[in-house]
Structure 1
Amino acid sequence: MNKNTDPRWLEWAKELQFIAQAGLTYSRDPFDIERFERIREISAEIMSHQSDLPIEKVKELFCNETGFQTPKLDTRAAIFNDGKILLVKEKAGVWSMPGGWVDVNQSIKTNTEKEVKEEAGLDVKAVRLIALQDRNLHNVPPYAYNVCKAFVLCEVTGGSFQSNIETTESSYFSLDEIPALAEEKNNKEQIAMCFAAYLDENWKVPFD
């Protein structure tokens, strides 16, 4: 197996980073802190070597947190009208369900509603959780950190689309006409899951 396609190196680097960050958070002995800093440096060197990213960029993306490391949280809104799902077109030309990282002062519910307003111009009410997924089990490419994705069914209460710094267009699509997607954020299998949840009043929330 080619070293760059073997997923184990990424898991090793992530575990080293986790161990180092936990050690830096809780250690008080200066010699232990020095050792944990070196472990963190090694994890960044592995990432840089395997991904061909500059070491400075890796440290910015991979080693920039403080405190005990936990997965990041991302929300995606499933909004339906006449049996079609709402997608927004990003600046890069691909489409996604409205959503984004959960702000530190938001909950899953409020963050979902906020992201829809920002990206689609709509006022919505988050009404039902569809799924909680481990992003690296469903989306590509794999990230150097873990992400928990929350898919949330929403109902529109008002508003209209306005072009903004993140999206250029919004439209509703049936499942058989889904356009090119931002696969790192959502894929057709996840969108199909949202259709199934929308149509099933007794939907049981899957979680990883």
Structure 2
Amino acid sequence: MNDEPEWLVRARAVQALAQSGLAFTRDPYDRERYEALTAIAAQMMAGPSGADPDALRTIFEAERGYATPKLDVRGAVFDAEGRLLMVRELADEGRWTLPGGWADVNQTASECAVREVLEESGYRVRAAKLALVHDRARQGHHPAGPFSICKLFFLCTLLSPEPERLDGNIETADARFFAEAEIPDDLSTGRVLPHQIARLFAHRAEPGLPTEFD
């Protein structure tokens, strides 16, 4: 169940309708109407959140084409002792999360997850199983964001016991393996939640579990 505030859900829906309308309309008057809806969506979202409506409108106007959820990929890497790899995010006050990020074009979702693990931790891995397909809003991630996001969590096999030296990594400050009882409390909850980590440990313990979704 989506526990986000109704104003955010409605503002996001208006923005998506405006974006999709702009992608397909050929009528100049309809274009003006959809542009006005974009501005209204920014105002709807800015009011309760305290954000700058002009800044939100600029973000919305940069989105092109039919509006669809954005795709976030995460790699769940376990070592031989059953500990989970986590990284400390520089962008979120040094909080801990699973390595991952936005999916890139010209790569499959699993390739993106493997790349993100290498870039953020130095470990080379192989994606072995898609464990979780979660809608960010339905799972209760905070803080809420302006766009719909689909999150894919892949179980990954560790290919080497030692990380490679990373030059120019500007995303993470640390990478460590944690036992389930040692998972840090200061999680980056916009990226991963405790119940998702628990399910990933369950999938590691029982590889035959089906992919969980929604």
Please state which band the TM-score falls in when normalised by the shorter chain.
over 0.9
Match of residue 179, structure 2, among 174, 178, 202: 174
8 Å contact 2:4–2:144 — kept in the other structure?
Answer: no
Residue identity over aligned pairs, in percent, reads 38
Match of residue 34, structure 1, among 18, 32, 36: 32
Q: Which amino acid aligns with 2:163?
A: S
8 Å contact 1:134–1:149 — kept in the other structure?
Answer: yes
Q: Which amino acid aligns with 1:147?
A: I
1:86 aligns with 2:85: yes
8 Å contact 1:79–1:86 — kept in the other structure?
Answer: yes
Residues 137-185 of structure 1: CA distance to partner in whole angstroms, max 9, x if unpaired? 1111222211100000001113515462111111111111111110110
The alpha carbon displacement at 1:60 in A equals 3.3
Change (3 A) 1:132 1:38: same
The alpha carbon displacement at 1:61 in A equals 3.3
* Segment drifting more, 103-112 vs 55-64: 55-64
How far apart are the structure 2 equivalents of 1:50 and 1:151? 31
8 Å contact 2:73–2:112 — kept in the other structure?
Answer: yes
Q: Once superposed, which parts of structure 1, at least 4 consecutive aligned residues long, lie more than 6 Å away? A: none
Q: TM-score, normalised by structure 1?
A: 0.93
Residues 30-85 of structure 1: CA distance to partner in whole angstroms, max 9, x if unpaired? 11111111111111111121211112221233442011010000111111110110
The match for 1:197 is: 203
The alpha carbon displacement at 1:6 in A equals 7.4
Match of residue 67, structure 2, among 66, 69, 72: 69
How far apart are the structure 1 equivalents of 2:46 and 2:207? 47
How far apart are the structure 2 equivalents of 1:200 and 1:61? 42
The match for 2:99 is: 98
Unaligned runs of 5+ in 1: none
Q: Which amino acid aligns with 2:142?
A: V
How far apart are the structure 2 equivalents of 1:155 and 1:76? 13
How far apart are the structure 2 equivalents of 1:169 and 1:161? 13
How far apart are the structure 1 equivalents of 2:195 and 2:188? 13
CA RMSD of aligned residues (A): 1.6
Number of aligned pairs?
A: 204
Q: TM-score, normalised by structure 2?
A: 0.90
1:130 aligns with 2:103: no
The match for 2:155 is: 153
How far apart are the structure 1 equivalents of 2:58 and 2:89? 24
Change (3 A) 1:22 1:101: same
How far apart are the structure 2 equivalents of 1:89 and 1:7? 29
What secondary structure sits across from 2:159 in the alignment? strand
